[in-house]
Amino acid sequence: MKEATYPIVTFLLFHELCLLLGLSVEYVTYLSTILTLLLCYSDKIRFFLLSKTISGDLLKVIDLSYANLRALQKIKLKTTQKLRVYVSLSGLLFPTVLGLMLGIYVIYRLPQYFIIYFLLFSFLTIAYNRFSIMVFEKGILVSLASSIITTVMLVLAVGTHYSLDSSTLFMLTYSVSALATLTGVDLLNLRYVTFFKTKSIIVGGYGVRDAIFLIPAISSITTRIVYSLITLLSYT
């Protein structure tokens, strides 16, 4: 059941994007289905980005026990390692490029909201970073529920205050959320890589199951649905 949610979210995202492009309804379903299948099956496509030597502090506990005396001491060691960074097509490149394109479009069309865009991005970056944690052999984990709820409530407040239309709010939500996830969850947590002595990392490695794909997708879809309902109820 859980695995079925990922293609459903992907389909709904493409469905909304196709409607934004002004495509006729009869083609939206077919095109969304094809794009969903292509993106879901491209989970394993990864590209080498860079190889970099990084250094950092490694905390280690040393047993200094002697005879009947027990003593443990925590020391800090300087470590240096060569790290290879890969990026996922569906888990990083797609949401990042889409987020940038939607952000540029929104700012170009509504330049007066640039400060609002920047503030939303900054706040969500900090929030997502607080919701994330580095776990050994699993990578970076983040609370999807907390991230999505925070995003939806924040953007709904902005949209209601400035009376934005649902399409603009959808694009705004996806853009700030995608870029904030990349920055707050992935980039700001890279400094902890030295603690796990890994030789390579894959940014967005979970594909359509990765936070950088799911958080902006679910947040933008939810925001549009809720905001449309709020707007509809306000006119009745």
The predicted-structure confidence for 157-182, as pLDDT tens digits, reads as follows 999 999 999 999 999 999 999 999 99
Can you give the residue range of the structural domain that contains 8?
1-41
The predicted model scores a pTM of 0.87
**DSSP states of 18-82:** HHHTT--HHHHHHHHHHHHHHHHTTTT-EEEEEEEEEEEEEEEEEE--BTTB--EEEEEEEEEEE
Q: Determine, yes or no, domain membership for 62.
A: no
* 30 and 97, same domain (yes or no): no
* 10 and 124, same domain (yes or no): no
* 21 and 88, same domain (yes or no): no
Looking at residue 130, what is its pLDDT?
A: 94
* 113 and 160, same domain (yes or no): yes
Q: Determine, yes or no, domain membership for 120.
A: yes
Q: How many domains does the chain have?
A: 2
151 to each of 71, 135, 220, how far by Cα in Å? 48, 24, 9
Q: Among candidates 177, 178, 162, 175, which has minimal Cα distance to 227?
A: 162
Looking at residue 73, what is its pLDDT?
A: 53
* 178 and 225, same domain (yes or no): yes
C-beta of residue 60 within 8 angstroms of C-beta of residue 74:
yes
138 to each of 1, 135, 196, 206, how far by Cα in Å? 22, 5, 11, 10
**Which residues, given as ranges, of the chain have pLDDT below 50?**
61-62, 72
Looking at residue 167, what is its pLDDT?
A: 93
Looking at residue 65, what is its pLDDT?
A: 54
Q: Determine, yes or no, domain membership for 182.
A: yes
